[in-house]
Amino acid sequence: MAEKKSTTKKTESKKDTKKVAPVKQEVKKQAAAPAAKPKAEEAPAKSPIDNLAKAEDARIGVFICHCGTNIAGSMDIEAVQEAAKTFPHVAYVDNYKYMCSMPGQTVIHKAIKDHKLTGVVVAACTPRLHEPTFRTATKDGGLNPFRFEMANIRDQNSWVHMHDREGSTDKAKDAIRIAVAKAALLQDLHPKAVPVEKAAMVVGAGVAGMQAALDLAAAGIKTYLIEKDMSIGGRMSQLDKTFPTLDCSQCILTPKMVDVGRSPNIELMTWSEVHEVEGYIGNFDVTIRKKARGVMTPKEAEAKGIVGGGCNGCGDCEGVCPVIKPNEFEIGMKPRKAIYVNHPQVVPLIYTIDFTSCVKCGLCVTACGPEKRAIDLEMKDEFVKVKVGTAILATGYDIFPIENKQEWGYKRYENVISSLEFERLICASGPTGGHLVRPSDGETPKRVGFVLCAGSRDNTGTGKPYCSRFCCMYSLKHAHQIIEKIPGCVPYIFYMDIRSFGKMYEEFYYRIQDEGAKFIRGRVANIIEDKATKNLHVMADDTLLDRPIDMEVDMVVLAAAIQPAADTNRTRKLFGVSCSSDGWLLEAHPKLNPCGTTTAGVFLAGVCQGPKDIPDTVASAEGAASAASIPIHMGEVELEPYFASCIPEKCAGCGMCVNLCPYSALSLVEKDGRTVMQVTEAKCKGCGTCGGFCPGGAIWMNHFTTPQIVAQIDAFLLGGEQ
């Protein structure tokens, strides 16, 4: 049996040798001095397999990590170590309590020198966590860092088989055997450095996007700030006051909005959307769709030869427009015209035509006059291309459609409103001038019910399972506002538990209790409208008094859950960013890399990554701006050298791979009178689509070569001794 196995192995390696026949000499040379620095830059220029290690000469070191008791507690490390000693090519085996610690790393680079190792296998956690650590250790020992291979015996083994000591021990042996088989065939690789464009993009101009853009601009980086709405400020500009300080939201936001408008380093593009993204970190080519606004800025007018023209925000057009529509900024509670601005403090102060409702009567054109000539009713969408080194997504959130929770009657009962509607009603610049009134009759309410967790922390399948994180606090603020504004008005807050976790938040909670707000611990089961009075009966279970209650109030405010903004999914796909099952964009690591994504050069700011209040949003934006500025300030970034390479002798020039490549990294070129494929390494992501498909086996996937993968499969299938 053992003989048969070794025969198979021999045939396999013979085949391999045959495959690489044309470059046999180089292979030998490389293998003879594996630790020596090869002619780094020339190597890939020739055939990609030049520096392939030859398994026969491999001397692999295996280092088994206990990870405290994370690994050692669930398997027999001694047994794994003894087994590893018997694997082919293994020259040295050791184990240590924490391989990632400084002493652990020293074990590795000392062993490389003392035992003349050609490759390193660390059996520990995941490459996501510690690949960089162990590559550095490998490099410190004098080897090319890509001579390192990881065997995951923690996340995919000891953690999942915590109570199966024997099984996890066997599985660890398998994982190490497979890793050793690959390590024996690893090649020296050299990351490619590419220059980084000294510009950045921020998508979304709410408070997160604005803060990120301001920070980047202050760091001397040209920043394109893209906003799909007609003006900047986002959700925060819709709010009346902020908790717990009770600052006026607009008052603290407007200076930032003005700064954004004025910053020479920020190119603000409102009424615009990201249309297409190409390229990679350092070199993103982004196409932006500037939606037809119907109104020209002074700059745009000047470009068209209308000197001194363009929109100056005078509003004469709005006065004559005959079309009346509900204003979305005021959640439909105020009318607007077909040509309009969201609110008086907008940045930029440029009017916009809603072409879906414009009747093209031309009255606005006349009102605008021959001097400004700002209005162009025939304006078409424009596409603008920009090049940026890094990008930040700050696409924010929408309110969950709370009418889906039918038991509370939103949109069925007039006096049930959402928290965002409350913000507009209590806001001095809102549709009622800051007077809270009942939609049914315009009367001032004397009893207001607040339903917390309206659609949040909801496992019924209708709402969202997560906590929206700021509803408790703004509902406390709402309670304060009605106590302050309406003498004798009592807020009744129906809650599960009050989450007042931030700085000065708990103190604010006590303050609102002292001010006289009534707190009822219990989820609201049902709201019933009194047909005659339009009052509402809030039916809940008071879990502190252990009795059902029926509370009659004049008005109910639903603290609605939030969800990712409508266009988030489209935008994230353009940038290759993942999302979690609830739709929020996925960070590279929830704790240690909350602003990064798995796409190099793309970062997240604010609520698009998950619910956040304003302080957390701004902090996250500053973090993202800092992270996004690093590659730009470094000037160049190293790309993982996992790209595909063409073996010209084998390539038939069929070009099938060129069409398959999702990154447009491949092209056909003339070489020595033949048509062969060529890889633009900076564009290649090493996905392997071409390599897996190539009918002639002419594509070499660096670090995931066919011989390496075959060796791994063999090592698994053939079992223990070979």
Site residues, other proteins (CB under 8 A)? 405-407, 409, 412, 460-462, 526, 528, 531
As measured in angstroms, the least distance from the Cβ of 455 to other proteins is 13
**150 strand-pairing partners:** 122
CB of 416 to other proteins, least distance (A): 12
C-beta of 526: minimal distance to other proteins in Å? 7
How far apart are alpha carbons 595 and 484 in whole angstroms? 39
Copy the structure tokens of residue 556: 């109910």
Q: Which two tokens stand for residue 172?
A: 């660890």
- Give yes or no for a cis peptide into 48 (omega within 30° of 0): no
Residue 316: CB atoms within 10 A of its CB come to 15
- Between vectors from CA 195 to CA 191 and to CA 196, what angle results, nearest 5°? 115
Give the Cα separation of 722 and 720 in Å (integer).
7
Alpha-carbon distances, residue 289 vs 226, 272, 472, 517, 614 (angstroms):
10, 5, 38, 49, 29
Our CB check for other proteins shows the closer of 462 and 569 to be 462
Do 558 and 537 contact (CB within 8 A), yes or no? no
CA–CA separation, 634 vs 621, rounded Å?
20
By beta-carbon proximity to other proteins, the closer residue of 84 and 553 is 553
What token pair was written down for 436? 């809270």
> What does the alpha-carbon distance between residue 577 and residue 585 come to, in Å, rounded to a whole number?
7
Name the minimum Å distance from CB 405 to other proteins: 7
Nearest approach in angstroms of CB 528 to other proteins is 5
CA distance 185 to 153: 21
In the complex, the smallest distance separating the C-beta of residue 332 from other proteins, rounded to whole angstroms, is 22
Q: Which is nearer to other proteins, 370 or 461 (CB)?
A: 461
The single residue listed with the structure tokens 């495959």 is 19
Q: How far is residue 648 from each of residues 39, 129, 144, 698, measured CA to CA in Å? A: 21, 37, 26, 7
Which residue number, 536 or 644, has a Cβ lying nearer to other proteins?
A: 536
Q: How far is the CB of 484 from other proteins (least distance, A)?
A: 34
Closer residue to other proteins in complex, CB, 539/619: 539
d(CA 346, CA 344): 6
User: 139 or 411: whose CB is closer to other proteins?
Assistant: 411
User: What does the block give as tokens for 106?
Assistant: 């020293």
Nearer to other proteins, 530 or 638 (CB): 530
Helix (H) / strand (E) containing 700: strand 699-701
| Radius of gyration in angstroms for the set of CA atoms belonging to the chain, rounded to a whole number | 32
Choose between 530 and 649: whose C-beta lies nearer to other proteins. Answer: 530
570 Cβ neighbours under 8 A, 6+ residues apart: none
CB of 560 to other proteins, least distance (A): 16
> Which lies closer to other proteins via its Cβ, residue 302 or residue 458?
458
Residue 536 CB, shortest distance to other proteins, in Å, is: 12
Task: Determine the Cα–Cα distance for residues 354 and 350; give it in Å rounded to an integer.
Answer: 13
Q: Please report how close the Cβ of residue 251 comes to other proteins at its closest, in angstroms.
A: 40
When the beta carbons of 407 and 638 are compared against other proteins, the nearer one is: 407
